[in-house]
Amino acid sequence: MKVKIYVEGGGDSKELHARCREGFRKLVEQAGFTQRMPAFVACGGRESTYDRFKTAASLGVAATYPMLLVDSEDPVEPPPGEEIQPESPTAWDHLKRRDNWERPASVENEQAQLMVTCMETWIMADRKALKDFFGHSLQSNRLLPEKALETRPHEAVLESLADATRDCGQGKAYRKGKPSFQLLARLDPSVLAEHLPYFRRFVATLGIHLQGSDA
């Protein structure tokens, strides 16, 4: 089965689209999917990502499993348990409440995946990657606690990263774009899985559909 992931990010720049794809590719590769890899499609804005996913789902290309990967923007209620349960509220439930997005016909629950509450939550979960990237000037005490990171509002995550990196030198503080995707490529999936249940859900879904992988 070929997995094609339509991911929010990359803006309107071809260069950033390439960096977005590379960042996610390296992260998934480090999660153990070295024999079979998903294809990532950087779609820019949130609505564009959903629209492109819907188009792919409607085409029903044989042996291709399209997935949607977007920020949840808001905390997902109720918070997930340690294990994924069939009766648990789905990502589609959240996207319907927040964005009024409908789940396309024939699309499965697992075809919607969430970065809860945003990609920066994934970045903040890996303190070693942050220290390696920003150096000794990183103010780790200004980062949000690792516990229950997925319950933190999007704005709080971004503000915390900006605050923790503001003394790292001119032009070196955290910002979206090239630095965010460079950081994404450095993250340790095992650390993210330890702290982020929705990241575990994402990796588990890939493990099911990437037949022949190392997962």
pLDDT digits (tens, 9 = 90+) for 53-95: 999 999 877 788 999 999 999 998 755 555 555 556 689 999 9
Pair 98, 131 in one domain: no
Pair 83, 166 in one domain: no
Asked if 7 contacts 24 with a C-beta cutoff of 8 angstroms, the reply is: yes
Whether residue 215 is contained in a domain is answered as: no
d(CA 158, CA 29): 26
Pair 125, 113 in one domain: no
Question: Whose CA is closest to 91, among 119, 72, 73, 105?
Answer: 72
Cα dihedral across residues 35, 32, 19, 96: positive or negative: positive
d(CA 195, CA 182): 21
- Displacement of CA 92 from its chain's centroid (Å): 16
Q: Are strands 2-7 and 39-42 parallel, antiparallel or unpaired?
A: parallel
Pair 175, 72 in one domain: no
Pair 75, 137 in one domain: no
Pair 152, 162 in one domain: yes
Q: Which domain holds residue 171?
A: 120-181
Residue 130 phi/psi, 5° resolution?
Answer: -65, -45
Contacting residues for 106 by C-beta, under 8 A, at least 6 apart: 57, 60
Report the percent of the chain where pLDDT is more than 90. Answer: 77
- How confident is the model at residue 210, as a pLDDT? 87
- How confident is the model at residue 35, as a pLDDT? 81
Radius of gyration, alpha carbons of the chain: 17
d(CA 154, CA 157): 5
Pair 69, 34 in one domain: yes
Question: Whose CA is closest to 90, among 82, 80, 105, 104?
Answer: 80
d(CA 124, CA 187): 10
For the chain, what is the domain count? Answer: 2
Whether residue 21 is contained in a domain is answered as: yes
Pair 128, 101 in one domain: no
What does the pLDDT profile of the chain (215 residues) look like in tens digits? 799 999 999 988 999 999 999 999 999 999 999 888 999 999 999 999 999 999 999 987 778 899 999 999 999 875 555 555 555 668 999 999 999 999 999 899 999 999 999 999 999 999 999 999 999 999 999 999 999 999 999 999 999 999 999 998 777 889 888 899 999 999 999 999 999 999 999 999 999 998 644 43
